[in-house]
């Protein structure tokens, strides 16, 4: 199962559930009243706001020119300056999408948001830049789930950002490739993320952030994007650390394949024969969404192919090949997944696939692993006549298979590659369940409110209690410690060892608290990695 397809499906469901020099520069630009701090950046002045406990927040900050008209499907351009003081107290719109209509959305959406621990800042602070999930066709940086106030209180400057999605952000077409000075098309959303990071390098010191200490992090498709950015030659010097939550490095669609499919789909659509860049850019955004934006891009079927592509510029080659050769950016890495990404609650929303009869899963494993099928079946306890009982932590065999195949084992492979290149790395598994909902395990995205301290957003659905809020504070400490120093440890926290290919130590965030374990799903992941090598040789 291709990882990006899985991230797309889960992204849909997640969206449905949503809703020094540095010191002097920060202090010299920190003006305004106590409740309305003003900061001067490269493009003008911004008036933000203060929360009740003194966290400053600046919203709806343009980091690029609006990608509309002639700038649709082009590399983002630096933002233009404005006169006067720009109001930065209200969030801007999300980027256009079909699946998430509870907040305003627009093609003019390239804005970001900044939270600082206090105002004015008295010293420079580490910076964390968040890339949301949603299959690269849904989600936004303005979701309540991603409110940066709590993380900022841990002493970091927190940035959330939008990036173009779906038809606007990941549309490859031969005519767009031809007109590009880089002879590339399709990865406009990734280009937006890179532009946001360039904006951070230029401006974040004005907010008290340290541009030399930037950590990027993301979940699901946002984590896949993080790994693409680590693999891209265009991101050198833009960040020093990365956190990938449920989105290991994976192979992506070749540009030529995406172009071919999109040309064919355009010919069948209500767009008709409009195939030149000028004709396509003349189509109103709302019409594009209706006629070309339906479905889940990049997930297969008969629609447009919209997802990350190997375009020869942002991504000159497959990210997996880059990692395997040790040519990725030399950054510290934290990466992990959840114990039941396709847990009972999530799978029920997908039509009950967790109840797939055991003979089906035997067939799926045999087809995928070919000559290694017997080893794979044995690793899952399916080599005998009896079916294994569900694992209390990892769920049914189907749930285990789905999580292993799409998340866990790819994560282990990435860690082995990354540490082999001399980079420090830490692995985790999030296994925390909700009291009374233990059978649902820890499904996809369930770690997010713990990391951001936004449990209240999902309170009605997940029924969190006081111990969950305490657990969240603990996880925030690990995440922000890593952002500060590249080491998640500190204080009285349970010590989290670095990953190495032999021991494969990881931190398991179980119900009782964090526990250090070794060799996550070792037997399963060993045969998974061997099979990936076999298939890579076959596909050469």
Task: Report how far residue 80's alpha carbon sits from residue 43's, in angstroms, rounded to the nearest whole number.
Answer: 6
Candidates 141, 188, 196, 195; CA nearest to 168 is: 188
Ramachandran class of 370: left when φ > 0, alpha when ψ lies in -120 to 50, beta otherwise: left
Q: Is 173 one of the catalytic residues?
A: no
Handedness of CA 429, 434, 435, 440 (dihedral sign): negative
Task: Report how far residue 146's alpha carbon sits from residue 454's, in angstroms, rounded to the nearest whole number.
Answer: 7
Task: Report how far residue 69's alpha carbon sits from residue 284's, in angstroms, rounded to the nearest whole number.
Answer: 9
Give the active site residue among 173, 444, 446, 447: 444
Q: Using an 8 Å Cβ cutoff, are 400 and 394 in contact?
A: yes
Task: Report how far residue 130's alpha carbon sits from residue 157's, in angstroms, rounded to the nearest whole number.
Answer: 11
Q: Is 341 one of the catalytic residues?
A: yes
Give the active site residue among 220, 402, 431, 446: 220
Task: Report how far residue 302's alpha carbon sits from residue 289's, in angstroms, rounded to the nearest whole number.
Answer: 16
Task: Report how far residue 134's alpha carbon sits from residue 219's, in angstroms, rounded to the nearest whole number.
Answer: 9
What is the pairing mode between strands 56-62 and 49-50?
Answer: antiparallel
Q: Is 444 one of the catalytic residues?
A: yes
Which residues, at least 6 apart from 386, have a Cβ–Cβ distance to it below 8 Å?
Answer: none
Q: Provide the β-strand partners of residue 374.
A: none
Q: Using an 8 Å Cβ cutoff, are 127 and 156 in contact?
A: yes
- For the purposes of burial, counting CB atoms within 10 Å of the CB of 460, is it exposed (0-12), middle (13-18) or buried (19 or more)? exposed
Rounded (5°) CA angle 432-338-357: 105
Give the active site residue among 341, 414, 418, 431: 341
Which amino acids are annotated catalytic?
A: 220, 341, 444
């Amino acid at each position: 199962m291709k990882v990006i397809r899985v991230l797309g499906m889960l992204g849909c469901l997640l969206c449905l559930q949503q809703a020094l020099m540095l010191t002097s520069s920060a202090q010299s630009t920190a003006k305004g009243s106590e409740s309305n701090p003003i900061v001067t950046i490269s493009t003008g002045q911004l008036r933000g706001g203060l929360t009740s406990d003194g966290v400053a927040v600046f919203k709806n900050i343009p980091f690029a020119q609006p990608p509309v008209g002639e700038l649709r499907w082009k590399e983002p351009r630096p933002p233009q300056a404005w006169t006067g003081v720009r109001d930065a107290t209200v969030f801007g719109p999300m980027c256009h999408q079909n699946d998430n209509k509870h907040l305003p959305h627009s093609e003019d959406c390239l804005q970001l948001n900044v939270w600082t621990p206090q105002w004015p800042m008295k010293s420079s602070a580490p910076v964390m830049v968040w890339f949301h999930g949603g299959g690269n066709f849904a989600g936004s940086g303005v979701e309540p789930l991603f409110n940066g106030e709590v993380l900022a209180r841990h002493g970091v400057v927190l940035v959330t950002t939008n990036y173009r999605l779906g038809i606007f952000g990941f549309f490859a077409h031969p005519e767009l490739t031809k007109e590009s000075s880089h002879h590339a098309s399709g990865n406009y959303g990734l280009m937006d993320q890179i532009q946001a990071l360039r904006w951070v390098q230029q401006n974040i010191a004005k907010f008290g952030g340290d541009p030399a200490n930037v950590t990027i992090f993301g979940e699901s498709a946002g984590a896949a994007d993080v790994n693409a950015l680590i693999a891209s030659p265009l991101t050198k010097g833009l960040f020093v650390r990365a956190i990938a939550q449920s989105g290991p490095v994976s192979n992506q669609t070749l540009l030529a394949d995406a172009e071919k499919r999109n040309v064919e789909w355009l010919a069948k659509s209500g767009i008709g024969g409009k195939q030149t860049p000028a004709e396509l850019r003349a189509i109103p955004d709302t019409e594009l969404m209706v006629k070309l934006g339906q479905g889940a891009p990049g997930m297969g079927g008969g629609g447009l192919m919209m997802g990350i592509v190997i375009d020869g510029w942002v991504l000159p080659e497959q990210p997996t090949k880059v990692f395997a050769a040790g040519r990725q950016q030399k950054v510290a890495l934290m990466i992990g997944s959840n114990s039941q990404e396709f847990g009972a609650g999530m799978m029920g929303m997908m039509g009950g696939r967790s109840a797939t009869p055991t003979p089906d899963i035997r067939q799926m494993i045999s087809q995928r692993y070919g000559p290694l099928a017997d080893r794979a079946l044995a690793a899952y306890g399916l080599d005998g006549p009896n079916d294994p009982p569900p694992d209390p932590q990892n769920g049914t065999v189907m749930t285990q298979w789905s999580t292993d195949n799409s998340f866990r084992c790819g994560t282990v492979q990435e860690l082995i590659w990354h540490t082999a290149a001399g980079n420090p790395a830490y692995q985790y598994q999030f296994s925390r369940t909700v009291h009374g909902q233990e059978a649902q395990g820890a499904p996809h995205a369930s770690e997010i409110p713990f990391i951001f301290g936004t449990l209240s957003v999902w309170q009605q659905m997940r029924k969190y209690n006081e111990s969950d809020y305490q657990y969240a504070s603990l996880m925030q400490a690990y995440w922000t410690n890593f952002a500060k120093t590249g080491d998640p440890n500190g204080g009285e926290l349970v010590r989290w060892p670095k990953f190495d290919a032999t021991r494969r130590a990881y931190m398991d965030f179980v119900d009782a608290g964090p526990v250090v374990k070794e060799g996550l799903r070792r037997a399963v992941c060993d045969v998974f990695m061997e099979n990936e090598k076999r298939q890579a040789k076959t596909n050469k």
